[in-house]
Structures are given as structure tokens and as C-alpha cells.
Amino acid sequence: MKSNTNPEFDIGQTLGIDQSSDRKKHLKRWLIVALLVIAGVTSAAVWKGTKKSNSIQYQTQKVQRGDLTVTVTATGALEPTNQVDVGSELSGIIKTVEVDYNDRVKVGQILARLDTDKLKAKVLQSKAALESARAKVLEVQATVKESGDQLARLKEVWELSNNMVPSQQDLDAAQAVLHRAKATEATARAQVSQAQATLEADETDLAKTVIHSPINGIVLTRNVEPGQTVAASFQAPILFTLAEDLTQMELHVDVDEADVGQVTKGQEASFTVDAHPGRTFPARITQVRYGSQTVNGVVTYKTVLNMDNSDLSLRPGMTATADITVNKVKNAILVPNAALRFIPPVKEKEAPSNGSLLNKLLPRRHRAPSKQRKDSTADKKLQHVWTLRDGKLLAIAVSIGTTDGRMTEVTSGDIDPGMPLVVDTKRSER
């Protein structure tokens, strides 16, 4: 038998290598090269686009000259200048109510009446006790006169009998009777005074069953109805609340402890209420109280503002938001607060030419501002603003004064009205 075995074929089979595997390896090699080329082109395009899009543009605002007003905001409620709560010292049943809500009253006008039947009976009883005490005084006075006459007769007999009769013991007994009669008279007179005082107290209580207005004003609240029982124990129940003059009102606001140092008596203010949107009411501070109050951990101080309410558009209890003017600066150089907060971006250094592709693709982290820059702005009164000169940032040192939260006064520095100051940056999209 003849064998047709090819030596190369046998060796290839023995080593596990054939022509088809060579072609596959060749194709894989070219595929890898192609992918690397595509990735390189894509990375270059992305890096180039990123470099172009990273061009920075600056937003600016101009320095202004004008007036600066610093205000402190506080909230509170409106109250009458003089408000009086009218109550009852007596317990009883309300017989009549003479006024209603919003009624105008005068001093001495009757507001309500209590039932007086029991008090009238008590007054009659006190009058009877007084008459009885006075009668007792008359009776005792007669006894005193009788005792005095008896003692006088005994003394006369004793003198006529040459001090023989009556005996000394009888004279002493008559003298004692007279003294006891005078003491009884004094007691009776004291009982008259006591009965008189009781009668006056009962008559006073009877008079208090008619409740009068203590001031000229208007009825804000009425808490009773006819037939209602009033129980006055340790505290007099409030029946009516009167406001003396609603044309002059007070606004009581709570000023935060951080702002109270700037608020003083006489400062001007304005406030708004929800009932009149778009309308501003002028006011003036009349009192800043030293006593503090703490609500939910916040310390505030009660401040009183006075205002004119001639048109009666404001009512007690309305919630108001007040803006208190604590400082005014005339004709000052003003810069926007955003310019004081602006920090120039840190420029990225270009990557070296022999850098890796990963360094080009990944963004570089900005370096934090140096400690030296922080130290230079540590002084709140001395800060830096930035302007553009030939397209480049230029720092200008300025000293600042008061601020209203949007604009800040510049007290010194090489800036002029109209100069553009950088307030923000944005990257252009190309």
C-alpha cells in the first residue's frame, strides 16, 4: 500500500498550526490597528472641542453713584394706642347689654347691667342694721345720763352729811356704773360706724352692677349676652374690649438680636399689610424695649412703631412686615455685591506633549485658591474687585462700608462710576 502523506501538512497538524489560523491572526491585527486609529482620531476631536469650549467670557456690571439705604426687616401686629379690657367685679346674671361691636362709646356710658335683686335686698338689710345700731346708741346714752345723775345725788348727800353717808363703797359702785355705761356707749357708736361701712359697701356693689365705659372709644369685642352668668372669683372676667382711638395705632414688631443694635428711637420705617397689597404705610420708632423674649430659640426685642391711621384703613391685630431704615448714605460710589464675591478662575497648565491620552481626556481639577489670597481678603473692610483691561483681569483693592445686601458702598479705592467690574464667568460654546 502506498502512502500520500505531505510532510509539511503533518508537521502543521502536529504543531496545531494551519493556514486558516494565520489568516485569522492577520485580520485581528489589522482590526486592532483600525480601532486604535479611530480612538485616536475621536480623542483628538474631543480634546480639541474641549479646548475650544473652555474659552472663558466674563460678565460685568458697572460701578454706580447714588444713595444707599440700609434697612432691618421685622414682623409684628397692629395694636391700638390705648386698649382697655372692661370686666365685672361681681358675680351675677347679665340682665341687659347696652352696646354692640364697633359701637362708639363715651366715658360713663352704660355698657351692661347685672341683675340687682339680691344686692338690693342686701342694701335694705344693711340699712336696717345701721338704724338698729343708732337706736342702741340712744339707749346707751340714756343709761349714761341716768348713771351720771345717780352719782351726782350720792355725792350731794355725802357732802350734806358731812361725809357720813353714803359710804365710800356706794360712791365707788356708782362711779363704776357710770364708767360701764360710757364704755357701752362707745361700743354702740362703733357698731354704728361698722353698720355704716357695711351699707356703703353694699351700695357700692349695687352701683357696680351697672358697668360703665372708662374711656371714649370703640367696642372691639363683646363677650357677654343677656342671661349669661358671670362668675368673678380670683380674676374679673373680661366682658368688653375698648380701643380709645383707632386713628393713632401702634405696630409692635420683634427685632432680631443681631439687628437690634442698629435700631434706635426716632428712626423712620415703612410697613405693609396683606389687607392692602401694594400700599406702604409710613411709621416711626417710638420705643425699643430692653426686655427680651425667646421664641423657638430665637431672641428678639419688642420695638414699638407709631403711625397715623386717620382713614381707619388699618385694624387691630393685622400682621405687618416693617422695614426700618437704620442708615442712609448719600451720593456714594456703589459696587454690586457679586463683584466682591468674584474669585478669578485658576488657569490650567497645558499638558506636556509626551503626556498620555488619559491625561488629555480626563479633566484636570482646579487648584484651590492659595492661602496668600485668603489672607489678603481676611479684612472685611479691605477687599478686591476685578476689572478687564486689554481682555485681562486686573485686581483693584477697595475699602468698603455699609451694604443693603445688593450694593455696597466703597469708601476708598481706584474705581470710578461707570467702570465695569467682573461679577461672574461663563464658558463660550464654539
- The CATH number of residue 391's host domain is 2.40.420.20
pLDDT at 179: 95
Question: Are residues 362 and 252 both part of a single domain?
Answer: no
Enumerate the β-bridge partners of residue 418. Answer: none
Last residue of a domain, one of 294, 328, 362: 328
Question: Are residues 29 and 60 both part of a single domain?
Answer: no
pLDDT at 23: 64
C-beta separation of 120 from 209 below 8 A: no
pLDDT at 58: 87
The one-letter amino acid code at 215 reads I
Question: Are residues 210 and 342 both part of a single domain?
Answer: no
Question: Are residues 405 and 350 both part of a single domain?
Answer: yes
Domains of the chain: total? 4
Question: Are residues 124 and 176 both part of a single domain?
Answer: yes
pLDDT at 427: 65
Domain containing residue 302: 72-81+247-328
For cell 337706736, the residue is: 135
C-beta separation of 64 from 334 below 8 A: yes
As a whole number of angstroms, the distance between CA 171 and CA 59 comes to 125
As a whole number of angstroms, the distance between CA 235 and CA 337 comes to 57
Nearest to 115 by CA among 83, 98, 81, 90: 90
Cα–Cα distance list, 239 to 81, 85, 89, 115, 218 (Å)? 20, 8, 11, 15, 14
Task: Report residues of the chain scoring pLDDT below 50.
Answer: 1-9, 11-12, 14-15, 17, 52-53, 348-358, 360-378
pLDDT at 189: 95
Whether 240 is covered by a domain: the verdict is no
Question: Are residues 224 and 272 both part of a single domain?
Answer: no
pLDDT at 46: 55
Nearest to 387 by CA among 55, 57, 66, 58: 58
Question: Are residues 406 and 378 both part of a single domain?
Answer: yes
Last residue of a domain, one of 199, 230, 261: 230
Question: Are residues 340 and 412 both part of a single domain?
Answer: yes
Question: Are residues 194 and 265 both part of a single domain?
Answer: no
Is the preceding omega at residue 166 within 30 degrees of 0, hence cis? yes
